[in-house]
Amino acid sequence: MDLPRRYPYMPHWPTIATMLAGGAVLLALGTGCIMLPTRSGTRELGGILFGGFFILFGAAVIVLGALSAIRRLFIGRTLELGEDALLLPTGFLQLRTRRVAYADIEGTWEMTRQKVYTFQLVTKGRTHGISSVFLDRQSYTAVKDFLT
């Protein structure tokens, strides 16, 4: 493999659309819980609190989806396999870059949670994750194969 090699590291559009649609559904459920009266024609405190939770959680999911869309459109990030180190975007919205030297990697493994694969790199006292949510399938496999 020719080095350095760069791979786009950003959320996929279907993931962003799922967050936005899921948040909209939660908002609709919350609004329905608040607006629907009970048999006596009054609204109960439990329904209002339950609906408020759905509205709050739905709004948070929509904000996260919107931030992911803005990040994908305006802040292009890449994962770079260099000659002697890996440059990995980290932090909130992957706005920072961490340099992980190949010599410092002590172990690797792959985790799966609900069809999301994460390749873990263990260095001296730290664990770094490379998520399949941010890479296409071919890039994820190429990075994983290179690092193992």
Low-confidence ranges of the chain (pLDDT < 50): none
Q: What is the DSSP string of 38-69?
A: -TTSS--HHHHHHHHHHHHHHHHHHHHHHHHH
Whole-angstrom distance, CA of residue 72 vs CA of residue 77? 8
pLDDT at 42 (0 to 100): 60
pLDDT at 46 (0 to 100): 67
Q: What would the pLDDT profile of 52-75 be if each residue is shown by its tens digit?
A: 899 999 999 999 999 999 988 998
pLDDT at 132 (0 to 100): 87
Taking only Cα atoms into account, the Rg of the chain, rounded to an integer number of angstroms, comes to 21
Rounded (10°) angle between helices 45-74 and 13-35: 160
pLDDT at 39 (0 to 100): 66
Residue 4 preceded by cis peptide, ω within 30: yes
